[in-house]
Amino acid sequence: MNDKKGQGEAEKTGPACVVRVIDNTKVAINRGARNGIVEGMRFVVYRLSGEEIKDPFTKESLGPLAIVKGTGKVINVQETMSVLESDQKERTERTTAQQTPGGTILSIYPFMREVEVAFERKPFDNPGVGDLIKRV
């Protein structure tokens, strides 16, 4: 792609960003089929810190720090926008005690417990309108 063409398009459409928070695991972004977005693409959602970071030795500006809010996968594509769903998972455990035929709970024996392990969708970390996105 020609750099000038890419710059003109970015200026016209603005930065790729979150335009609506649907819930804590889904956000709408301002890029869609018109921008080459297809289902399954992955993006990182982030915001830039408000302060400029400087190298303590060279005093060179390193720019703002990107604060990552999570990653997501495109699950719905429209012409001018798409929906990202968090693709991070977190492990959850639920412990249940075994019961004997007589109905007594053997909770005093830890080795007699059952542990159910599940992987649930991890929400984005406080997503907001205007958060930036970048393809992973």
- CA dist., res. 116 & res. 8, Å (int): 53
Within-domain flag for 94:
no
Rounded distance, CA 72 to CA 63, Å? 25
CB 32 within 8 A of CB 77: yes
* Residue 103 belongs to some domain of the structure: no
For 20-51, how does the pLDDT look when each residue is reduced to its tens digit (9 = 90+)? 999 999 999 999 999 999 999 999 999 999 99
**Residue 101 included in any domain:** no
Is residue 115 in a domain?
no
- Tokens 């915001």 map to which residue? 47
Q: 27 with 87: CB under 8 angstroms? A: no
Beta carbons within 8 Å of 92's beta carbon, 6+ residues apart:
117, 118, 119, 120
Residue 131 maps to a domain? yes
- CATH number of the domain at 131, please: 2.40.10.410
Domain count of the fold of the chain:
1
pLDDT digits (tens, 9 = 90+) for 47-89: 999 999 999 999 999 999 999 999 999 999 999 999 999 999 9
Q: Print the domain residue range for 41.
A: 3-89+122-135
